[in-house]
Amino acid sequence: MPCLAQLEITCFVGGPSGDCVEFAPTFCSSLASLSISAGDTVAHCFNFNGAAAGSSCQFTAVNTLTSSAVPNAINCESALFTVADECPSGGGGQSSGSNFKFWMDPNAVACGSPNGI
CATH (domain of 88): 3.30.430
Inside any domain, residue 117: no
* Number of residues that make up the chain: 117
Inside any domain, residue 30: yes
Q: Which domain holds residue 23?
A: 7-107
10 versus 97: which is more confidently predicted? 10
pLDDT digits (tens, 9 = 90+) for 52-88: 778 899 999 999 988 999 999 999 999 999 999 999 9
Q: Specify whether the CB–CB gap between 29 and 73 falls below 8 A.
A: yes
Q: What is the CA radius of gyration of the chain?
A: 14
Model pLDDT, residue 92: 96
Q: What share of the chain in percent tops pLDDT 90?
A: 65
Q: Return the SS3 of 51.
A: helix
Inside any domain, residue 115: no
pTM recorded for the entire structure: 0.87
Inside any domain, residue 58: yes
Inside any domain, residue 83: yes
